[in-house]
Structure 1
Amino acid sequence: MKHVLSAAAFAAFAIAAPAQAFDLTAMSASERTTLHSEIRAYLLENPEVIMEAVQVLEERQANQQAQSDEDMVKTNADALFNDGYSWVGGNPDGDVTLVEFTDYRCGYCRKAHAEISELVSSDGNIRFILKEFPILGDESTLSSRFAIATRLVAGADAYKTAHDALITFKGNVTPKSLSRLADKLGLDGTAILARMNSAEVEQEIAANHALAGRMQISGTPTFILDGQMLRGYVPLASMQQLVAATRAAN
């Protein structure tokens, strides 16, 4: 923050100063001292200029990040929206697509779960895609392996059932607890657990991690709403507004 303020302070002084060219490298030591004193005096008299400059800088950085995110979405569109394996729910023909990178042990993913379900179901025209992205340790990886294996063994509907159970699961995630969960959900736990370490499961998790790396995604939840990246939890009301804005822009 110190460097940001220093840069902003000098930029603020340069903007406020008369529009005349001068070469800083050609200034003498005494001229530099005088300039520094004038900058300091100006900023002490007009401290609001610093905050104005910081605000402009932050807005510029945010715009640059948004443009970078949009470019990454375009470059990785097929992997994001049509990878051929990620679970697709909501309205498959919806006019807006929402992708979520999720980790079952992530507190904010759990917080977002009910709200995203409400968003998708109440809207009725959102194509919703889930990306298994375990990053919080062994229990996260076991959970994702179980979910993917469930889809491979029992299909998309069973996957969603397992996903909803895992995102609300309390207690330690172990092969034994997953076997009990499978029984509770009426699934073939033996077949699912046998599939968890298969090449298909391994490849899907690896592909999602590689995609996240290309997208500069390091946390969960991360959402992609058409061309916009939303890093972190977004409250339901805000997400509804973003969906509406996306439709208006299309």
Structure 2
Amino acid sequence: MILSRRTLLAGLAASSASVPAFTRSASAQPAPEGQLVPIELVEDTMALNAAVKLGHQHGDVIMIEYFDYNCPWCRKSAADLPALLKAEPDLTYVLVNFAVLGIPSVTATKAALAYFQLYGPEAYLALHLALFRLKGAVDGERALKEIERLGGDLKRLEEAANSERTTQWMKDAFKLGDSLGFSATPSFLVGTESYVGGMTLAQKREAIARARG
């Protein structure tokens, strides 16, 4: 098991050289202002292979979160997610891994995306919440420990994490996030409006209500 973990971590680090080294997470703000974005970019985000779709599969509103596992405001957002899904049963909520806070985030994301490939969105939510409950920096090593605790097959995970497919999924998310002007996390799409910065549960519900018109 230790050898498998070391092999995986070495592969994760080796494949991360082309990703951004550091971008600050969004600072606290009363409420980010919505900006209209082309519907094509929303559709492109929904089409990402790495997009983790939660909640209603055909919701009347789509809310998308670009996040990083080492972003404090993303941690707050994750803590609110179960309550949001319960309060908004007609909402489709989409998670997009956007590892912009350095190599630890990259390695954690590659492990998480491998888990998503193997076990699907319902299982992924449990890992997502578990990683954000961790204190301190989250990297590939810590992500693997959580995956192992959840019963993940580390041998299969190693193959998926080190695959070109996983690397391409991350590149696609970076490219689309850049097209949307997302230079910080968390960043959100609600309907056809984008929001850069942390949002409280109440602010998210207000944005969803606006999208419903």
CA shift, 1:190, in A, is 2.5
Shift of 1:123: 1.3
Q: 1:176 to 1:215 in 2, by over 3 A?
A: closer
Q: Which consecutive unaligned segments of at least 5 residues does structure 2 have?
A: 1-32
- Pairing 1:1-250 to 2, within 5 Å after superposition: 69-70=35-36, 72-247=37-212, 249=213
State the match for 1:20 in structure 2: none
Amino acid at match of 1:188: D
Task: State the secondary structure of the residue aligned to 2:38.
Answer: helix
Please state how far the C-alpha of 1:169 moved relative to its aligned partner.
2.1
Q: Give TM-score, length-normalised by structure 2.
A: 0.78
| Cα displacement (A) at 1:200 | 0.9
The change in CA–CA distance for 1:175 and 1:223 in structure 2 (over 3 A counts) is closer
Given that 1:106 and 1:220 are in contact with CA atoms closer than 8 Å, whether structure 2 keeps it comes out as yes
Residues 126, 175 of structure 1: alpha-carbon distance in 2 compared, 3 angstrom cutoff:
closer
**5+ residue gaps in structure 1?**
1-64
Query: In the superposition, relative to structure 1, how do residues 153 and 229 fare at CA in structure 2: closer, same or farther (>3 Å)?
Result: same
Q: Which has the higher contact order (CA 8 A, sep 6+)?
A: 2
- Measure how far apart 1:245 and its partner are: 2.1
TM-score between both structures, scaled by the size of structure 1? 0.67
For 2:209 and 2:43, locate their aligned partners in 1 and report how far apart those are by CA, in whole Å: 24
Quote the residue 1:23 is aligned against.
none
**Aligned partner of 1:164: which letter?**
L
Please, what is the CA RMSD of the aligned residues? 1.9
Q: Provide the aligned length of Structure 1 versus Structure 2.
A: 181
Are the equivalent residues in 2 in contact too, given 1:179–1:193 (CA < 8 A)? Answer: no
> 1:134: how far off?
0.2
SS in 2 for 1:191: helix
1:143-202 C-alpha deviation (Å, 9 max, x unpaired): 111111001122222222221211222345455433322221111123213321211110
Q: Percent identical across equivalent pairs?
A: 25
Sort the Cα spacing of 1:177 and 1:194 in 2 relative to 1 into closer, same or farther, 3 A: farther
Greater helix content: 1
